[in-house]
Amino acid sequence: MRPYTGKQPILAIESSCDETAAAILLPPGLILSSLIASQAGEHARFGGVVPEVASRNHLLAIDPLVRRALAEAGITPRDLGAIAATSGPGLAPALLVGVSYAKGFALALGIPYLALNHLEGHLLSPFLGRESIPHHIALLVSGGHTQITEVRGPGNYTVLGRTLDDAAGEAFDKVAKLLGLGYPGGVEIDRLAESGDPAKYAFPKAMMERGERETLDFSFSGLKTSVRYFLERNPELSKSPQGMADLCASVRHAIVEVLIQKTARSCEAAGLNDIAISGGVAANRALRSGLTELCQGKGWRLHLPSPELSTDNAAMMAFAAIHHLTAGESSTLVREIEPRWRVGPETPPCPPSAEFRR
Ligand code: KG4
Ligand code: ZN
């Protein structure tokens, strides 16, 4: 096997959920191509991602996608220095497709294969194309994950807090379903909330009550129950446009306030001046404006990924791969997928089923 020189382009593949993605990156951070084949439409009618359907669609999409990524980058497979793939966390049948494809391709070319952690890709995504990564607090908020991590540099992570049940995006999506909005509903709640009053209805800000203030963990499953009971008591509200707007604004406020306050507390406690946010929910307008305001007030810097790097993509995975490959790391071809892989050795245990439920 030819070892990675640190100079050739690398191919990264992402298939942990319902997006098949392939990207080619030239070190240290030039994206030569980045393509995504989304299957969201295939899953929308089920109201969530069906693992076997995702797996089947990855299988159909992956080879044409990689060929196109190579063509757009203007290179041939022989120019590649290494191939990396998301190995976890994620849906096992979906991960298997990307990982098997990457291993087979790397073996055929005689170049290194590298197993990647999906969360690390999100964590580093705000810094793609930048010269350095500051010591910072990262808020990762997506449909599958919600965690606060202290990032000292690539590969050096301590998870400070995480969700004990639903992820923030999952909470948005489940409430959206109760309100009869489409899947994924986070975007729709965010849009409707813009013309609503966030103080109109008080929904629980979980893990923010007295005695729970100190924890940096999150819990969002109680919110959807509370919204369900609220809707049963006030069925007329969701029929009026203003009622819906106020409801969405109040729900968004309950979720976003907890995220902002716990992130602020983590940054203060660690004595840091940099906050980064990543994952699909990082697109939320109230979260962005709340964190911007916080950072302006405190004199902290806020690092945001570009919109195309916020949702699942392979460019962020390739960027994470570069750091490991240039440090001389690679993975053996017998390494299994890791559907419940976490970042950081200090990560506390998480109850079963919460990790990759969507
Ligand atoms: O990172 P992502 O694309 O996929 C993973 O879960 O890995 O995140 C998707 C999630 C969905 O739950 C979606 O509803 C949520 O991000 N989302 C939003 C917004 N845009 C996407 N949630 C709230 N406000 C938004 N603007
Ligand atoms: Zn993701």
In this structure, what are the phi and psi dihedrals at residue 274, rounded to the nearest 5 degrees? -130, 135
Residue to mutate (ligand 1; options 145, 311, 317, 343; most atoms within 8 A of CB): 311
Which residue out of 166, 172, 316 has the highest number of ligand 1 atoms within 8 Å of its CB and is therefore the one to mutate? 172
Place of tokens 């991590």: 149
Give phi and psi for 51, each to the nearest 5: -55, -45
| Contacts for 44-48: CB closer than 8 Å, 24+ residues apart | 44/182, 44/183, 47/177, 47/183, 48/173, 48/183, 48/358
Q: How far is the CA of 333 from the centre of ligand 1 (A)?
A: 32
Residue with tokens 């004990």: 164
**CA 311 / ligand 2 centre spacing (Å):** 6
Ligand 1 centroid, distance to 299 Cα (angstroms):
28
Closest ligand 1 atom to the C-alpha of 279? 1
Ligand 1 atom nearest 185 alpha carbon: 14
Q: Let me know the angle formed at the C-alpha of 210 by 201 and 230, rounded to the nearest 5 degrees.
A: 25
Residue nearest to atom 24 of ligand 1 (CA): 284
Residue with tokens 């969405």: 248
Q: How far apart are CA 253 and CA 250, in angstroms?
A: 5
Contact status, residue 63 vs residue 108, Cβ threshold 8 Å? no
How many Å apart are CA 84 and CA 106, to the nearest integer? 9
- Are 169 and 186 in contact, with CB atoms under 8 Å apart? yes
Distance 184 CA to ligand 1 centre (A): 7
Q: Quick check: 102 and 24 in contact, CB under 8 A? A: no
- The Cα 219–Cα 223 span in angstroms is 9
Count Cβ neighbours within 10 Å for each residue of 17-56 and write b for 16 or more, e otherwise.
Answer: bbbbbbbbbbbebebbbbbbbebeeebeeeebbbbebbbb
d(CA 354, CA 141) in angstroms, rounded, equals 14
Q: State how far the Cα of 249 lies from the Cα of 302, in Å rounded to an integer.
A: 24
Residues 327, 88: Cα–Cα separation, whole Å: 21
φ/ψ of 140, rounded to 5, equals: -105, 115
Compute the distance from residue 145 Cα to the ligand 1 centre, in Å. Answer: 10
Cα gap 186→286, rounded to integer Å:
12
Q: Whose CA is nearest to atom 2 of ligand 1?
A: 280
Domain ranges of the chain: 10-128+309-326, 136-304
Model confidence, pTM: 0.91
The CA distance from 56 to 122, in Å, is 25
Report how far ligand 2's centroid is from the alpha carbon of 47 (Å). Answer: 18
* Ligand 1, pocket residues at CB < 6 Å: 17, 142-144, 169, 172-173, 184-187, 190, 279-281, 283-284, 311-312
Q: How far apart are CA 141 and CA 290, in angstroms?
A: 15
- Judging by beta carbons within 10 Å of its beta carbon (0-12, 13-18, 19+), is residue 68 exposed, middle or buried? middle
Atom 8 in ligand 1: which residue has the minimum CA distance? 280
Ligand (nearest to CA of 170): 1
Q: Which bound ligand lies closest to the C-alpha atom of 143?
A: 1
Closest residue to atom 3 of ligand 1, CA basis: 311
**Residues in a beta bridge with 218:** 163
Name which residue sits closest to atom 16 of ligand 1, judged by CA: 280
Question: Distance from the CA of 280 to the center of ligand 1, in angstroms?
Answer: 3
Positions in the chain whose pLDDT score sits under 50:
346-358
Residue 173's nearest CA partner among 46, 38, 262, 316 is 46
- Kindly give the distance from the C-alpha atom of residue 232 to the centroid of ligand 2, in angstroms, as a whole number: 33
pLDDT value for 353: 36
Q: What is the CATH number of domain 10-128+309-326?
A: 3.30.420.40
Q: Which residues of 128-167 are buried (b: 16+ CB within 10 A; e: fewer)?
A: beeeebeebbbbbbbbbbbbbbbbeebbebebbbbbbbbb
Q: How many residues does the chain have?
A: 358
Which ligand 1 atom sits nearest the alpha carbon of residue 191?
Answer: 26
| Ligand whose nearest atom lies closest to the CA of 357 | 1
3-state secondary structure (DSSP) of residue 189: helix
Residue nearest ligand 1's atom 6 by CA: 143
**β-pair type (146-153, 82-88):** unpaired
Write the residue with the smallest CA distance to atom 10 of ligand 1. Answer: 143
Q: Are strands 301-303 and 274-278 parallel, antiparallel or unpaired?
A: parallel
Which of these CATH numbers, 1.10.287.180, 3.40.50.1970, 3.30.420.40, 1.10.287.610, describes 136-304? Answer: 3.30.420.40
pLDDT at residue 208 in the model: 73
Fold agreement (10-128+309-326, 136-304): yes
Between the alpha carbon of residue 258 and those of residues 3, 122, 203, the distances in Å are 46, 20, 12
Separation of CA 101 and ligand 2 centre (Å): 20
